[in-house]
Amino acid sequence: MTSDPFFHPVSGMELPRYAGIPTFMRLPLVQPDHARFEEVEIGLVGVPWDSGTTNRPGPRHGPRQLRDASTMIRAEHGHFDIRPFEAAACADLGDVAPNPADIQDSMARITAFYDKIVAAGIRPLTGGGDHLCSLPVLRALGKAKPLGMVHFDSHTDLWDSYFGGFKYTHGTPFRRAVEEGLLDPKRIVQIGIRGPMYDHEDRDFARAEGIRIIPIEEFHARGVADVMAEAREIVGTEPTYVSYDIDFVDPTFAPGTGTPEIGGPNSYQALQVVRELMGLNIVGADLVEVSPPFDSSGGTAFLGVTIMFELLCAMVGRGMVSQGK
Ligand code: MN
Ligand code: MN
């Protein structure tokens, strides 16, 4: 709980929301060398990096676009009785500086940044970046103990390799995370999987490891509440990561992404699924694959930050109870 106005976002009642320097949700910028870094409970982080992209690039521009769109977010959740920026000390922790010319070096830099976040007891909410971003983040968050994961996506991202044995792309992060012991496969649920496939190899891996895949056909047939009740059951009360690929949402609502797939949830269902995470033990979350070069209306970034606001509220929890320090 924080009543300290330092951690409150700039209100649109004081400074019009189109004015000022756009941090995430108009929060204070508190980078790791800032005197108040240790006081932050939930930190919003940009990872402007898309070197794992195998087809249409652009998510490296995501954080800047997401920050701009996030000036639309207000202080109170419209459905739950939550004022997240008063329930927890939130701040924009800035961007991780990647090395766009070197994937391994970039991942090392990202993990080092998140090591500082974990050491300070901050729970990170990341704006990507392509989906390979999740792997170096999990290397910091899942180091002590494998995490559960609720994963929204059109794709499993469980492939072994691309281009003749290359192991690090945005199609492989969760295969690596399971192999590295960062995720407990029995506590992973992947929701919204669809589209034409290369082959069945990712599904075979999921089946062998006990990962639960809920394909889009099942999602639409059962509905949000039923599917999410099962998802909560799978991850349980232990520490859980939430990874949200914007291509989970139908491209009618989220065209600004590199690998869209037809037949997905609408923009309301995109928010509903996150609301169903309320009460889980969420140690971190990300929203990835917003690609501004393909987002000509800016609507995908706006949906992306609205999902981030829902994720933030789910991390804060009901009743304005701070789970942090
Ligand atoms: Mn993905
Ligand atoms: Mn995807």
Domains of the chain: which residue ranges? Answer: 5-322
Which residues are found with C-beta within 5 Å of the ion, ligand 1? 131, 153, 157, 245
194 CA distance to ligand 2 centroid (A)?
9
Which CATH superfamily hosts domain 5-322? Answer: Ureohydrolase domain (3.40.800.10)
Query: Mean pLDDT over residues 26-48, rounded?
Result: 98
Beta bridge partner(s), residue 151: 190, 243
- pLDDT band at 1, cuts 50/70/90? low
Q: How far is the CA of 153 from the centre of ligand 2 (A)?
A: 5
**Residue 296: per-residue pLDDT:** 96
Q: Which two tokens stand for residue 90?
A: 């939130």
Q: Read off the tokens for 155.
A: 């794709």
Which pTM was predicted?
0.97
Ligand 1 centre distance from Cα of residue 183 (Å): 16
For ligand 1, the distance from its centroid to the CA atom of residue 20, given in whole angstroms, is 33
Separation of CA 230 and ligand 2 centre (Å): 21
Q: What is the pLDDT of residue 322?
A: 42
Q: Are the CB atoms for 68 and 304 separated by under 8 Å? A: no
Residue 325 Cα, ligand 1 centroid: separation in angstroms? 32
pLDDT digits (tens, 9 = 90+) for 255-312: 999 999 999 999 999 999 999 999 999 999 999 999 999 999 999 999 999 999 999 9
User: Taken in order 265, 268, 271, 276, is the CA torsion positive or negative?
Assistant: negative
Question: At residue 205, does pLDDT exceed 60?
Answer: yes
Q: Is the pLDDT of residue 85 over 60?
A: yes
